[in-house]
Copies of this chain bind each other. A is one copy, B any other.
Amino acid sequence: MAASDPTGGRPVDPSRGALRPLGLAEARITAGFWADRQRVISEGSLDHARAWMDKVGWTANFTIGAATGPAEHRGREFADSEVYKLIEAMSWETGRRADPARVREIDELVALIGGAQEADGYLNTAFGRPSQQPRWSDLRWGHELYCAGHLMQAAVANTRVHGPGPLLDIARKVADHICATFGEDGSSGVCGHPEIEPALVELYRVTGERRYLDQAALFVERRGHGSLPPHQFGASYFSDDIPVREATVLRGHAVRALYLACGVVDVAVETGDDELLEAVAAQFDRTWARRTYLTGGMGSRHMDEAFSDDFVLPSDRAYSESCASVAAVMLAWRLLLATGEARYADVIERVLYNVVATAIEDDGRAFFYAHSLHQRTPTRALPDDEEQLGFGGGPRAPWFEVSCCLPNVSRLLAALSTYLAVADDEGLRIMQYANATVDTRLADGRRVALETTTAYPVDGDVTIRITATDGGEWPLTLRIPAWAEGATVDGVTRAAGEAVTVRRAFAPGDEVRLHLPMTPRFTTPDPRIDAVRGCVAVERGPVVYCAESPVAEPLGDLDQLRIDPARAPADHEDGVEVWGGLAAETDAAWPYEGTAVADPPLGLVRLLPYHRWARRGPATMRVWLPTVQSPRARSTDG
């Protein structure tokens, strides 16, 4: 068995692929935007989540195996998985930053969990005991394999960071039990909520147990044949409608579809199944092209937390679950590593700055489950001590009956530094721009270290300074985002979307300077997206902007806002400004009478980054801004 990963551990560790990921010890975020977000998790969210899980009984569920255990399971059937996700987050966090008290907390939780494991390896606090449903009796809704998957992911993270320990033993026993139960000769079922698939591959990567990979491959191939019992939401909800190899787009429950796709990439990579890899990449590409919000958010429907048909992307009833954004990053990262195509890093950047960064309150103690792009009625203050039953509308809530999102975003952010750079066959590629240090070895064993300094995304100047190298020539590749028209590398203009390689015998102190032009720009949607026809959005660099009611003074009802798309948006010290105004209200007894509404007088309207919305008290908000009927360009001094 492997000791702790010498790289410090990385969330995904494929044995092959175009690119090699770095570990927590090799890439560190030192300051700036993402350091702030990591601090929010570190100082706020982890303790907040733990306290709530204690309060609502999800941790106590694990005492069910002991004589003094509670008679009743508390929380939803997947409550175990939240504790596992929290342990995963804490594991990455303690790899990122030494914290002996947190390590002790993990150990205590692991001991608690171990006490609930049964002799044959089965571990789930909601099933199998007297007065509970039998084990595996409800594959559609029971989430047993899903919970087991998150346990394995926690064990994988903990092992990579701290080396093998009791949690890995627990996870292996669970995995062995699952292989015995669901193997070639066992039950032919799949789980209603995918997650076991990537988890088993990752556990294979840590342990070398080929059976785990084979079991994951079996689960992938079994999916899509309608084996789960019928449900109102249809087999597509479970991605059980079409075999994985035949599907052309992600569909159904967004998180389910994205987790499954992660497992499919993992299986394809480890088994060398390029056809399978191409199938899932094509599904993701079409999903990105037709079923994704401007923010990178995924999931259009509240009822089934699902993708809808192509181009059904309503702003006000956007679902765009925080967990779907985590899953989208996981999937795009896997595709980036497997294919080497830098456009998947563009995906990650968009999702990070516009959903992940939006999800959590600045004190780490409240979060969005769903991410509306249009808040019509003012958000209302929520009590600190009340669990929310629904997910719609802002503001961020301290806790939800289903609180997957906070530990899920936490596990991503704690390991975020590993998404910044990757190694290729010869050199290093920078994928995300943040204040960071990288210290790793190239494929040929030479050490290279560098430091990145930037105020990104506030401005677009990025300096990469070599801090150590064993000498000799090697290539440093910089990703130019697809939006970055006019970018320069060392003063030379480069094409948007290009991967620019600087090949040099770098010496310590050498610098490469990237400039990404952070000019605010209007964005117009595909005309097939009915929900935002006749609107524009404003972006600046990777950041989507929005109008928020108290910010966009003196504006009141944002549904009356009209923007002149002929006058370019401009930077302002507190955001971005556009020309717009409020149209007159024309209340009619019947809203289809076609009363003409004159364009309003125009003035400057302040916009702020979408990830900053709902942080200053009750607010209405919209990302997509209806345009005036008669746009008129005007000189900038007008």
Q: How far is the CA of A594 from the CA of B526 in the complex (A)?
A: 6
A-side binding surface: helix, strand, loop or mixed? Answer: loop
Question: How far is B583's CA from A528's CA once the two chains are assembled, in angstroms?
Answer: 10
Interchain CB contact under 8 A, A526 and B301: no
| Contacting residues, chain B, for A524 (C-beta < 8 A) | 592, 594
Candidate in A303, A401, A530, A531 with the most chain B CB atoms within 10 angstroms: A530
A597: interface (CB < 8 Å)? yes
Taking CB atoms, residues of chain B closer than 8 Å to A302 are 301-303
Contact partner of A231 (CB less than 8 A), chosen from B314, B389, B522, B583, is: B389
Q: Does A47 contact B (CB under 8 A)?
A: no
From known contacts A377-B309, A390-B232, infer whether A589 and B285 are also in contact, taking CB-CB under 8 Å: yes
Flag whether A587 is at the interface (Cβ < 8 A): yes
Interface size on A, residues (CB 8 A): 61
State the CA gap A482–B593 with chains docked (Å). 10
Question: CB of A537 within 8 A of chain B?
Answer: yes
Tell whether, in the assembled complex, residue B294 and residue A626 are in contact, meaning their CB atoms are under 8 Å apart. no
Q: Is A525 an interface residue (CB 8 A)?
A: yes
Instruction: Out of B390, B522, B532, name the residue touching A233 (CB < 8 Å).
Output: B390
A572-592 interface with B by 8 A CB criterion: 583, 586-592
Q: List the B residue with the shortest CB-CB distance to A583.
A: B527
| Interface assignment of A308: CB less than 8 Å from any CB of chain B | yes
Closest residue of chain B to A316 (Cβ to Cβ) is B312
Which residues of B sit under 8 angstroms from A343, Cβ to Cβ?
589
Is A289 within 8 A of B526, CB to CB? no
A295 to chain B, nearest CB (A): 10
Per the bound structure, the CA–CA distance linking A231 and B389 in Å amounts to 6
Minimum CB–CB distance from A605 to chain B (whole Å) comes to 17
Tell me whether A310 is interfacial, beta carbon within 8 Å. Answer: yes
Closest-CB distance, A454 to chain B (whole angstroms): 24
- From 301 to 334 in chain A, residues with beta carbon under 8 angstroms from any chain B beta carbon are 301-303, 308-312, 314-317
Among the listed B232, B308, B525, B586, which residue makes an inter-chain contact with A526, where contact means beta carbons less than 8 Å apart?
B586
A374 an interface residue at 8 Å Cβ cutoff?
yes
Residue A290 CB within 8 A of the other chain: yes
**CB <8 Å contact, B315 and A590:** no
Q: Which of B390, B526, B537 contacts A588 (CB 8 A)?
A: B526
Task: Known pairs A374-B530, A533-B535; list 6 more (Cβ under 8 Å).
Answer: A289-B587, A309-B376, A312-B317, A527-B597, A530-B535, A537-B592
